[in-house]
């Protein structure tokens, strides 16, 4: 969480945050001073035959005006910092997403990305604008009252200090009790609404939470009144036997006002915890704390070599002991089953997947060390999906005539790859290869693309293979090499 916030604050700087904290601290101090003025004012107002304490009231009004001005100035400051954090988040997510392969951001992934982004917006806007203020007041306001009381009645100050510890413990214990079921805040409601339109309400779309909510509120208020009342009684008893009824009431009011910010801050426990979890997820998304990205340039040669490559997912072995070499400028057909293993080999070659063991080398350079910008410029993956992306449609809307035909998508993908002039080509024809039977020009485009380039063709049913120098046969988790020409 700290790493994510530090990264965001690099844009707006810490100066704005320090200024906001200064205003919040000053506001909390003025609030504590105003609370202490309640004692003489209440005492004089409740004592018979005592004039109205206009002087104390005037001081209270002046302090209140100062507090109001500080509050008025700090609110837009918090909103501005929150807006800066959100803007930085959007840019960081956009930069991160733009570096990902196009196929990684299909409708499902993009929808989840938008949901996470929306949750982070709620968190980042709320932290400086709404959460920070009560947290500062919970610390500074009681300490201000205790310090002032120390000069007037040391025993009272000691009692308030002890009561502060009791209130903090009771408040957070109660907050922990109330949030044991993950009390939903803004991001939590967004997550539930995303997972299911009625997910925010567990009873078929009806709120059904009135009674539990009332019970939680009543429990919280009972604890609040009991703790504040106990501290107030202790404060009255600690001041001696000569305390009048008016002074006792004043001390009770002072105790309740002093410790109210602490209890309000404790109510934010679930928000802070959920914010930390959300920011941690965002940090992983935007790469906060990640090691430096690879920076190697593309090698001069383009021969491909798999050195004892293995891939394991959880406890399952996908690939094991895969070793073969593909000379520069040659074409290999990747046949066999299952298709998932063939596509995994293609992902390893393009650098979209890291092997669990072994290395994938291009020109003697580990693919994992080649800069993403270099790989994006030199490697081209061809399939109807890329062709649909070039046409501005993924073909998933189901509207007749709204997306190009399968042959057109192949044509767009092949022509785009030829124009890009890549050094390494992966042709993924596991789906949609039947279009080659109805469009003879596609086979000619495919032959033009693979000519004099290092190419891996993953054929599907109906694909007329171009001239291939090798055939790599997938057999379960292994790959066998057949050094015979495939036509």
Q: 443: closest CA among 465, 420, 417? A: 465
Pick the CATH number of 304-394+403-482 from 3.40.50.300, 3.40.50.360, 2.60.40.10, 3.40.50.740: 3.40.50.300
Q: What angle do CA 352, 358, 362 make, to 5 degrees?
A: 60
Residue 379 bridge partners (DSSP): 424
> Dihedral sign, CA of 265, 267, 273, 275?
negative
Residues 238-248: tens digit of each pLDDT: 666 666 677 67
Is the model more confident about 267 or about 161?
161
pLDDT score for 216: 56
Residues 342-372: tens digit of each pLDDT: 888 888 888 888 898 999 999 889 988 888 7
Residues 48-84: tens digit of each pLDDT: 878 888 898 899 899 999 989 988 888 888 777 777 7
Considering just the CA atoms, what is the radius of gyration of the chain in Å?
Answer: 34
Q: 164: closest CA among 258, 251, 250, 236? A: 258
d(CA 78, CA 24): 10
Q: 435: closest CA among 402, 463, 396, 465? A: 463
The DSSP result for 279-321, as a single string, is: HHHHHHHHTTTPPPPP-BPPPS---EEEEEEEEEETTEEEEEE
d(CA 444, CA 466): 9
Residue 104 bridge partners (DSSP): none
Cβ contact 21:136 at 8 Å: yes
d(CA 110, CA 105): 5
Counting Cα atoms < 13 Å in the Cβ hemisphere of 225 gives 6
Question: Six-digit token pair at 311?
Answer: 């891939």
Q: Is 32 left (phi over 0), alpha (psi -120 to 50) or beta?
A: alpha
CATH number 1.20.1560.10 given to 2-286: yes
**Mean pLDDT for the stretch of residues 466-483:** 81
Q: Worst-scoring range by mean pLDDT, 221-225, 253-257, 280-284?
A: 280-284
Cβ contact 404:391 at 8 Å: yes
**Mean pLDDT for the stretch of residues 435-440:** 80
d(CA 90, CA 81): 14
Counting Cα atoms < 13 Å in the Cβ hemisphere of 68 gives 6
Residue 309 bridge partners (DSSP): 322
The domains of the chain are located at 2-286, 304-394+403-482
């Amino acid at each position: 969480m700290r790493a994510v916030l530090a990264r965001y604050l690099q844009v707006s700087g810490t100066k704005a945050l320090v200024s906001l904290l200064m205003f919040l601290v000053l506001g909390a101090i003025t609030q504590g001073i105003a609370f202490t003025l309640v004692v003489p004012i209440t005492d004089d107002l409740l004592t018979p035959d005592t004039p109205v304490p206009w002087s104390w009231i005037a001081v209270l009004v002046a302090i209140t005006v100062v507090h109001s001005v500080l509050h008025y100035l700090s609110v837009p400051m918090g909103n501005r910092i929150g807006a800066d954090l959100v803007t930085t988040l959007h840019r960081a997510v956009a930069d991160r997403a733009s570096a990902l392969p196009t196929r990684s951001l299909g409708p499902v992934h993009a929808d989840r990305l938008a949901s996470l982004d929306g949750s982070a917006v709620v968190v980042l806007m709320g932290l400086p604008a709404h959460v920070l203020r009560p947290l500062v007041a919970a610390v500074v306001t009681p300490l201000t009252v205790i310090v002032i009381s120390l000069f007037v009645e040391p025993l009272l100050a000691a009692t308030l200090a002890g009561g502060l510890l009791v209130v903090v413990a009771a408040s957070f214990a109660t907050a922990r009790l109330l949030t044991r079921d993950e009390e939903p805040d803004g991001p939590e409601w967004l997550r539930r609404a995303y997972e299911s339109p009625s997910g925010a309400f567990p009873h078929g779309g009806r709120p059904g939470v009135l009674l539990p909510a009332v019970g939680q509120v009543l429990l919280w208020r009972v604890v609040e009144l009991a703790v504040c009342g106990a501290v107030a009684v202790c404060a009255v008893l600690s001041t001696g036997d000569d305390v009048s009824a008016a002074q006792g009431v004043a001390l009770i009011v002072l105790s309740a006002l002093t410790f109210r910010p602490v209890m309000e801050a404790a109510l934010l426990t679930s928000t802070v915890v959920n914010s930390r979890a959300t920011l941690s997820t965002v940090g992983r998304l935007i790469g906060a704390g990640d090691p430096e990205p690879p920076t190697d340039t593309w090698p001069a040669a383009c021969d491909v070599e798999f050195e004892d490559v293995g891939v394991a997912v959880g406890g399952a072995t996908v690939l094991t002991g895969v070793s073969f070499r593909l000379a520069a400028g040659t074409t290999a057909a990747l046949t066999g089953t299952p298709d998932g293993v063939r596509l995994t080999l293609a992902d390893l070659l393009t650098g979209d997947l890291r092997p669990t063991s072994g290395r994938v080398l291009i020109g003697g350079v580990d693919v994992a060390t080649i800069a993403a910008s270099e790989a994006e410029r030199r490697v081209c993956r061809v399939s109807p999906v890329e062709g649909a992306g070039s046409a501005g449609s993924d073909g998933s809307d189901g509207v007749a005539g709204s997306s190009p035909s399968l042959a057109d998508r192949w044509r767009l993908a092949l022509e785009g790859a030829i124009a890009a002039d890549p050094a390494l080509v992966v042709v993924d024809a596991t789906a949609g290869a039947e279009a080659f039977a109805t469009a003879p020009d596609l086979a000619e485009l495919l032959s033009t693309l693979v000519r004099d380039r290092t190419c891996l063709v993953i054929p599907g049913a109906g694909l007329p293979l171009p001239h291939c120098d090798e055939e790599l046969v997938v057999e379960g988790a292994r790959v066998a090499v057949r050094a015979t020409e495939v036509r």
